[in-house]
Amino acid sequence: MHEVFLDELRKLNTRFMGMGIDVSEAIEEATQAFVEHDKKLAQSLVKDDQKVSRAATKVEKRTLKLMALQQPVASDFRNVISILKATNDLERIGENANSIAWETIRVKGNPRIPEVEAIIKSMSKKVNFMLDQVLKAYVQGDEKLAREVAKKDDEVDEEYVKARKLIISGIKQDPEAAVASSSYFMVIRLLERIGDHVVNLVQWVIYKMSGELVDLNTKDTDEMTEL
C-alpha cells in the first residue's frame, strides 16, 4: 500500500516541477516582452493564460485524492501538504507573470525610462534565480539552500525601492514619461510580489523537511510603497 502512495507522490512531484519550469519561463518571457516593447510576444503569452491554472488544478485534485485514499503518516502527510500549498504559490506567480505580459500590451506612450527598464530586467533575473533555486531545494530536500533563497528577496526589495525612486525622478524630468509610468509601477510591484511568493515556497520546503511552520515574509510592504 505504501509503495502505491510513494509512486503517486513521485508523479505529483514530477507534475509540480513541470509546473515550476513553465512558471519560470513565463516570468522570463513576460519581462523580456515588456522591456523590449514586444507586444507580439506578450500577446502570444496571454493567449494561453490558463495553462498554469489548469496544471495547478490537476495537481491539487490528485493531491486531495491521494490524501483521501491513502491516509498518509506524518512525514508523508507533510510532503503532500507542502505540494498542495506550494502549488498555490506557483499558480500566483504564474498569474503575476501573465499580468506583466498584459501590461506590455496596455502600456502607452513612447517616452520610456531606460534605467527603470534595466532594473526591471535585473529584478526578473533575480526572482527567476530564486525560483530555480527553491525548486532545486525542494527536489533535494535542502532546507539550508531554501533559507538562503529567502535572504535573496532583500535584493529584490532594494531594487523595487530604487526603481520607484527612478520612476518618480524620470517623470519630473520628462512629464511625458508619466504615460508609461503606471505600467512601470505595476510591473515592479508584480516582480516584488513574485519574490514574496518564492519566499512562501521556501517556507513549504522547510515545513516538508522539518514540520516547522515559519513566517519569513515579515517586511512592511506599505512602508516600501511609501518610499
Percent of the chain with pLDDT over 70: 95
Tens of pLDDT, residues 10-41: 999 999 999 999 999 999 999 999 999 999 99
What is the model's pLDDT at position 175?
A: 87
Query: Which residues touch 182 (CB under 8 Å, ≥6 apart)?
Result: none
Query: Which residues touch 126 (CB under 8 Å, ≥6 apart)?
Result: 152, 155, 156, 159, 195
CA distances to 90, 103, 120, 146, 157 from 180, in Å: 28, 10, 14, 36, 22
- The whole-angstrom separation of Cα 14 and Cα 69 is 20
What is the model's pLDDT at position 195?
A: 98
What is the model's pLDDT at position 227?
A: 44
Supply the DSSP symbol for 67.
Answer: H
> Can you give the residue ranges of every domain in the chain?
2-226
Does domain 2-226 match CATH 3.30.70.340? no
Tens of pLDDT, residues 104-155: 998 876 678 999 999 999 999 999 999 999 999 999 999 999 999 999 999 9
Residue 5 above 90 pLDDT? Answer: no
Locate 145 and state its grid cell. Answer: 539552500
Predicted TM-score (pTM) of this structure: 0.92
Determine the average pLDDT of the residues in 187-216: 96
**Cβ atoms of residues 166 and 124 within 8 Å:** no
What is the model's pLDDT at position 183?
A: 94
What is the model's pLDDT at position 141?
A: 93
